[in-house]
Chain A
Amino acid sequence: MNSIAANEIKTLKLSIYRYDPLKKEKPYMQDFDIDIPLEKDLMVLDVLMLAKEKDPSISFRRSCREGVCGSDGLNINGKNGLGCITPLSDAVRSNKLSIRPLPGLPVIKDLIVDMKQFVDQYKKVKPYLITDKKVDTREAIPQTVQEREKLDGLYECIMCGCCSTACPSFWWNPDKFLGPAALLQAYRFIADSRDTATEERLEQLEDAFSVFRCHGIMNCVSVCPKGLNPTKAIGEIKKMLVKRAL
């Protein structure tokens, strides 16, 4: 139970990154005092919504508010995470909460980043099943329980962008290094027993940048709100590429 820590918070010192592209001001941090109901361990998203009631011009994305849609990836007290499933008891330090947009992507406004580079990299890995197995529309392509288990930890990605925007290699080469999210997706199809395009997929990944710019820093693993392990998936791809080159 985390509610004990939350009970200690009364008036939270909240600080939010503000930027309006149409105004001349540089980006700045806007401070708020937010009164927190004592009995509940609120999530960071709840606090953002309370702040928006005070200042409706604050912009951020949100949808499911339960950690499955991936809208509200944010930098919360220095660490990437989803606002809607990060409790204050985990995030707040010394009664202070500082919220910034995900790092490494262009900021459109306030906490909203331009996800285009992220989505473009996702699309590059052909994130869909390619198969030459005979498909009868009256039945499923067979897959054993063991084969299906290989997709656990891969298919659950919600495309929130927390991992790729926590990755120094992605900050450095967002156009050439695919980033942990896209590579996790690449491996999700390589690992799928129904997919028959492994060779084609590996060929596309064998340059010096797409995969090999991953240096195993593991920021992606540390921030993934779904507990996934992109570094491991990238390691598997690297192994396959090395084996293939020999």
Chain B
Amino acid sequence: MSMSTTKLNAESHLLLDQPLLRLPHELLRKTFKTSQKHFERDQNIIMTGVKEAAAKAMAGGDPEDPVASLDSMITRMQGLKRKLESLHEDEKVLQEHSRKRISHLQDLYNIPSLVDEGYDRWSRTRLDRLLVDFLLRAGYGESAKKLAQEKQIEDLVDVDVFVQCARVEASLRRGSTVECLAWCQENKNSLRKMKSTLEFELRLQQFIELVRAGQPKEATAYSKKFLVPHSENHLKDIQKAAALLAFRPDTPWQPYKAMYSADRWEFLANAFVNTHHNLYGLPSRPLLHIALSAGLSALKTPSCHSSVASSSSNTASSTTSLCPICSTELNDLARHVPYAHHVRSSVEPDPVVLPNGRIYGRERLEELASKLGLPEEKIRDPTTGEEWDRSTVRKVFIM
């Protein structure tokens, strides 16, 4: 037998599942930061107000004066409370997501082995998660939602985050920076920490569009306002941008031709998606790709794309099952991945060879002959259907 295992090491098995917990955590942090921002701003304003009112009163102002300023402070405080309450609702939802996800992952720790029925169920749910992830990334939000709904895994997938991401991505592909700039504003601090250049690239695009539209004055003003603040990291780019003013949109000269090119929108869309995924701890490629390419290789054998039908795996007889890599679904997909490494042969016990060169386990030939009700002295090739005398079957030695 080739190397086989039933051991389930949950810890290392969860490689694919980090985003499951990472994303709600990042969203929780974001909720927290928003709350902190609101609080800090209102705290300052209110404390200043209270101090001023107290100072005025000390200085002998009209004793009824403070009521008006207290009213405005009360309104502000009520506003703050409402904002925190609404954030708290978001927080509860996210924490509930985390709880369900932790318990889903915890389930794996309680499954004794890879051949346990529980593992089969868990792995099916995982596949559904990976499929939803793939569909969302590919922009098929409706299919993703439907699948999540039918499989009742809505708490284990992040439809909203991806749908929003797809919306901004699509707006860039349409040639609009508005949505993406708003997103950058929302995540300003995190982007700065990541040293993201996304915002600069968007601003640069705006500048390019102004130049393209023949508005050099506006472009220059825009550059002063929005590009120059980035000069510490982007001085060269800003100079290049300034030089763009000297070239017409149909210029053959690089790099100006590239700057005018519509491909830049594609570049921006991809840059946004990468930045977005990076920010939320999401891998840049669909998890399904990662799982599949590993799985295709682990299962693939040289027989899977051979011109000769494999003796051990085909649909010609009920004694064999078709290998998943040989099945239509995956066969072409697996064509270019490496096949699995084996250091030892592994064939059916008691191998024999038929006159046509096909090797089978003796037991399988017997089983088929009896299922077919063949005469005592006959044997049928399970793959080709040829019939032979038992006397022509020879023992073969596989070392």
> Do they bind each other?
no
